Amino acid sequence: MQQRQLGPFKVSALGLGCMNICHAYGAPVSKEQAERVLLTALDQGVTHFDTAALYGFGASEILVGQVLGQHRSQFTLASKCGMQGVDVASDGKLVRVIDGRPATIRATCEAALKRLKTDVIDLYYLHRWDKQVPIEDSVGALSDLVRAGKIQTIGLSEVSAATLRKAHAVHPITALQTEYSLWTRNPEIAVLQACRELGVAFVAFSPVARGFLCGEIDVAALDAKDIRRSMPRFAPDHYAANLKLLAPFQAIAREVGCSPAQLAIAWLLHQGQDILPIPGTAREDHLRDNLGASDVKLDAAMLAKLDALINQQTVSGNRYNEQSNREVDTEAF
């Protein structure tokens, strides 16, 4: 496995996003299957595992802690705060809440350390900027956690270049995490350049376009709780338009001699040594396929062909619905 720099940590070029094993794409897989995926990733050389308090309302952190806790010295551990499940109505039902207040960040970190069975989190992200709280206050709380030895470094997720600069002025930011793939180019507007100016690593989630670039999805058959049901690009009209991109993309993958998923991830790896994709999956076969992307070589002509085929102008629909767009701080076309 190729290695890349994630702040002070040298990690595998491809990490593992640990959302899919318990959150967002339908019913969670069994504990046994999640365990197999996590241990297979470690066995295959993955040394960057990314989870969050939000994923399964703590379930992902618990799984990572239970399964990988005894191997803690072998990998870099990233998690996130600032968006989690809260029993708002005191009826036992957790709802997703964005809360970047310092006291909440401290409490979330303490709970995460217990779930993850660790004394320190290597990279701790603010999952979403709580726009009711100055970014300087939230990052200040994270810097307090660094000084207390609870976390080693600080990350931000789904923020703009301007917010990154404000945060970085309070405490050095190690990584910025945002969706980035052939079909989501928002980071190219400004934040990717800001990361490079500040020496901030860029962690790319959803590198295979929510599964779209792996092959045709039967949207009508998606689980009722699958987050893609609320994403405009998977709505009937937009999806029908986007499907026209899939066959030529698959043809390029055949030409290169790799799977479509490998082609999508390889494109990202070729965008810069500072970019670290974290594809997520709940299946071992998909995991092994994804990791094969690190061996795929793309020349300038092939990269140009991919750029021309799938980009912000050729993809139909916004990546998020109106509510989700209001919650993020990323630049938009």
Q: Which two tokens stand for residue 299?
A: 């020349």
* Plot region of 182 (φ>0 → left; ψ -120 to 50 → alpha; else → beta): alpha
Using DSSP, state whether 236 is helix, strand or coil.
helix
- DSSP letter at 75 equals S
Tokens linked to 231: 């994403």
Q: Which residues are the active-site residues? A: 55
SS (H, E, C) 97-162: EECCCHHHHHHHHHHHHHHHCCCCEEEEEECCCCCCCCHHHHHHHHHHHHHCCCEEEEEEECCCHH
Structure tokens at 84: 């989690």
Query: What is the signed CA dihedral for 16, 19, 21, 27, rounded to 10 degrees?
Result: -160
Interatomic CA distance for residues 294 and 26, integer angstroms? 28
Query: Do 49 and 16 meet the contact criterion of CB atoms below 8 Å apart?
Result: yes
